[in-house]
Amino acid sequence: MAEAHILTLPQELLQNIANYVDTSTGILNLRLTCRELAGAAFDCFVEEYISELSCFVLDPRRLKRVISITANPHLARRIRKLTFNFCPFERDYYFDINIAPQENQAQDSAAVSFMRDHTKAEFEKLGQSCFTLDASKQTLVHIILKSLAPYASCAVHVDSREPSLMQADQHIEPLSLDFLGGLLNAASRAGRPIDYMTLTKKVLLDEKAFDHGGSMIQALPMLQHVRRFTYARALGAAVHDKQELSSHLKALKSVMKHLTFLEELDWRPDLEYTLKRESSYLTTPDLQWMPNLKVLSLSSLRCPYGQLHQTLMACSPTLTEITLWGVYLKDLTASCTRLLRLLRAMPNLQKLWMYDWHDGYQRLGVLVPGDTTFTVFDRNDVEDPVFDSGEFIDWNFEHGLRFMSVRET
């Protein structure tokens, strides 16, 4: 009788055993055991470490590491999402950092202290020049995107938000991340579009780059491939130079004019933008260039009703889901009634959530369908904060709109 041991088991059983191994450490050790077990653990390894990659785009070492992964077709074809970000920590794992706390120190505090010190050391190592995607980094990005070009199932994201408890934002000044033109040019040369893009006030956008002969002109057609776009708030120092801020926002308008195939837009500008009165400051996005827009989220707005009405009407035939959060409207009572009627008239709108509509003194109390006492209107109190739009609007009209004082809410 042949000697029985684990390697005599069928490959399917070995794969089932690998599914029960701790993916954070055990799966790596299992793959180092022998070739047979490495093969059995391959799917688990790929799901944990390869399927969703994030790359600190400012660090050439991280870019080269991703090149080594994407150069292997067996790994490259298994990548579902690649995110170029601006933080030294891996986005999916930084919350799992296990640091032994010092005496009288909580576990969470120990992890935050470690992240702060590590992030500071990484940025000091890279130096100020790291904020520009220079020719050498563009070449590395081009190699990565060229390797991913055959794999349409991989979504490429560019995310300039702070992912890790505000640690990196302390080291990145406003309007200092000069990467957009270089990254789009690299994508254009590689023939691999960017699927999802998030910009903030940390990103340098110069309106002159969009003029005839400017550095962004050749890269702009790549923006037509973006399907999801977010403009988000960023913590940190404010932009005090009005001319620089105006140039940034005018360039942002130029970017958005080329998002002609966009399907999802998440607009969350900084409060310092929305409180301005100058016409050059954006409070609502111009949606007339986005005829395919389906999902829209607007947050932290301060604008007259007419401007918000015009924004929503630009894509009213195609919108299927809308979120309106933190909207400041003058003449709140009349504006809310008119806006709800506008939303109810949209032919394809299916999902809706609205929260924190106010005028500084009173706030619209939102009724969740099934509730008649205004006790469950806070977003955090609702398991799924997006509702059937018709049911949501009809329920609120049926029970009458209630406006509560800000102090009451």
Lowest mean pLDDT, pick from 43-47, 191-195, 209-213: 209-213
The reported pLDDT for the residue numbered 143 is: 97
Q: Looking at residues 119-128, what average pLDDT do you find?
A: 78
Give me the residues paired with residue 298 across strands.
Answer: 267, 324
| Residue 3 pLDDT greater than 80, yes or no | no
At residue 224, the pLDDT reads: 92
- Residue 332: pLDDT over 70: yes
CA pair distance 63, 130, nearest whole angstrom: 13
Contact assessment for residue 229 and residue 157, using Cβ atoms and an 8 Å cutoff: no
Confidence of residue 79 (pLDDT cuts 50, 70, 90): very high
Q: Is 277 exposed, middle or buried (0-12, 13-18, 19+ CB in 10 A)?
A: exposed
pLDDT band at 362 (very low <50, low <70, confident <90, very high): confident
What is the average pLDDT score of the chain?
A: 82
> Who's near 205: CB < 8 A, 6+ residues apart?
175, 180, 199, 247, 248, 251, 252, 255
Residue 70 clears pLDDT 90, i.e. is over it: yes
Alpha-helical segments (H) within 164-207: 180-190
pLDDT score of 272: 56
pTM: 0.86
Q: Supply the pLDDT for residue 278.
A: 47
Residue 198 has pLDDT above 60, yes or no: yes
Domains and CATH numbers, the chain: 1-49 (1.20.1280), 51-293 (no CATH), 321-409 (no CATH)
Evaluate whether 282 touches 273 at the Cβ level (below 8 Å): yes
